[in-house]
Amino acid sequence: MTKLAHIIFLVWFSHCLAEPQVKKSSAETYRLLNMFNEAFRHIRSEYVTTVSDEELMEAAISGMLNRLDPYSNYISQGRYKSMLSDMKGELEGIGIELTNEDGITKIITPIEGSPAWHAGLKAGDEILKVNGKAIQGLSLFAIGDCIQDIENETVQLEIKRKEVQDPFTVNLKRQKIVLENVRWHIQDNIAYIRLTDFNSKTTGDHLKKALGIIQGKKVQGIILDLRNNPGGLLEEALKCADFFIKNGVLVSVQPRSQDKTRVYNTSSHTIVPQTPMVVLINEGTASCAEIVAGALQDHRRALILGTRSFGKGTVQSIFPLSPGYAAIRLTTAYYLTPSGKNIQTTGIHPDVIVPQPSLSRDVPRAEALLLLKNHSKDVA
């Protein structure tokens, strides 16, 4: 069997395994493989222009993943390297996290400090066009390629926003984004901590250092701001939640085989187990950020304030392909909060609903500060 035939076999064998409820016979499996071979052969020999085997294989893999869900996709070599850089706190682009709902491409959240953030893009904004090209029907992978087109230094997006009557365009210049994912200060004896994401492997360490200083100040309360936090690395999110919760389950990860569900518990790393807390969330709070908020809510460790979170409760695992070349991101499990709640599509519902009516004044933050001040007075 040729090397190419081996690749074809592995691609389609994986596709068959992705359908556990349908036990296909060996004959049916080989029929499907043969059908793929025929299609591949016709494209190579008859398509109007020459297409490389590499392009066809990438398209085949990408197509399989795109049929699964909005979060499973193929990661090209360049994007894979970029993703590894993101984990080091480096990022280049316009700074948006995307999802696809029923063929509609939406922004999960703009990354704080990015060109998209400075342009005022919001969670829930729909993208209609990229550089004048309609993107309806395109995969997130293809849309990402349009946005990251190295021939264009700037990116033009046509945006549809729920509260705005007509679509509008924004022009964004790609740039290197320095991710400062933990920022904090103390105001009126209340500590304000902003976590912008969990993408860096140093997020937990940076928060631990900040909490060590804050603990020494003997503050009366903590505001943990998870608004527009798109999530990131589960390990870092759990480290951060562990700093506030003394005992119990932080999250459960439930794969296809439910008997293999993994339960993550607290450790002995708690730093501030009793300081009164308010957690701020909004529609841009997603994935691992929702896990942190959900754990604090279920353990009654913090009051959750703001608006309902995004509702991304699935786990994506990265599987390298041809080591050093490319990879796939595959949805492999669901996140369950300590109470067993699956937040996929439903999100985290705040204990106190406080919307952000405009950018002129941070109403949720002001409300959180007032709640903690009043709490400290009641205790005194």
**What's the pLDDT band for 277 if we cut at 50, 70, 90?**
very high
Q: Which residue has the higher pLDDT, 307 or 100?
A: 307
Residue 81: the pLDDT is 72
Mention every residue, 6+ apart, whose C-beta is less than 8 A from residue 225.
192, 193, 194, 195, 279, 280, 365
**What's the pLDDT band for 268 if we cut at 50, 70, 90?**
confident
**Which of 57-66, 101-110, 160-169 comes out lowest in average pLDDT?**
101-110
Query: What is the Cα–Cα distance from 49 to 171, expressed in whole angstroms?
Result: 34
Residue 99: the pLDDT is 81
Give the E-state strand segments of the chain in sequence order: 73-75, 90-93, 96-101, 104-110, 126-130, 133-134, 154-160, 168-173, 175-178, 182-187, 190-195, 221-225, 249-255, 262-265, 277-281, 303-306, 314-321, 326-336, 352-353
CATH 3.90.226.10 range(s) for the chain read 180-379
> Within a 10 A sphere around the Cβ of 125, how many other Cβ atoms?
24
Residue 360: the pLDDT is 64
Task: Report, in this order, helix, strand and coil percent for the chain, each rounded to 5.
Answer: 35, 30, 40
Q: Which residue has the higher pLDDT, 237 or 73?
A: 237
Homologous superfamily of the 90-177 domain (CATH) = PDZ domain (2.30.42.10)
Residue 339: the pLDDT is 96
> Within a 10 A sphere around the Cβ of 157, how many other Cβ atoms?
25
Give percent above pLDDT 90 in the chain.
51
Choice among 76, 312, 351, 373 that is catalytic:
312
**What's the pLDDT band for 84 if we cut at 50, 70, 90?**
low
Residue 3: the pLDDT is 47
Mention every residue, 6+ apart, whose C-beta is less than 8 A from residue 200.
86, 87, 88, 89, 179, 181, 232, 233, 236
Query: What is the Cα–Cα distance from 180 to 176, expressed in whole angstroms?
Result: 13
Pairing of strands 352-353, 303-306: parallel
For residues 310 and 108, is the Cβ–Cβ distance under 8 A?
yes
> Residue 280: beta bridge partners?
225, 305
Question: Helix 3-17 vs helix 26-46: angle between axes, to the nearest 10 degrees?
Answer: 130
* Tokens (6 digits) for 265: 């518990």
Residue 205: the pLDDT is 93
The mean pLDDT of 26-50, rounded to a whole number, is: 91
The mean pLDDT of 186-203, rounded to a whole number, is: 92
Q: What is the pLDDT of residues 120-136, one digit of tens each?
A: 998 889 999 999 999 88
The mean pLDDT of 69-89, rounded to a whole number, is: 74
> Residue 99: beta bridge partners?
106
- Give domain 180-379's CATH architecture: Alpha-Beta Complex (3.90)
Instruction: Give the residue among 333, 229, 188, 214 at the shortest CA–CA distance from 272.
Output: 214
The mean pLDDT of 312-322, rounded to a whole number, is: 89
**What's the pLDDT band for 19 if we cut at 50, 70, 90?**
low
**Which of 145-159, 205-219, 354-368 comes out lowest in average pLDDT?**
145-159
Choice among 298, 317, 339, 360 that is catalytic:
298
Give percent above pLDDT 70 in the chain.
87
- Mean pLDDT for all residues in the chain: 86
Is there a catalytic annotation at residue 287? yes
Choice among 246, 287, 309, 358 that is catalytic:
287
CATH 2.30.42.10 range(s) for the chain read 90-177
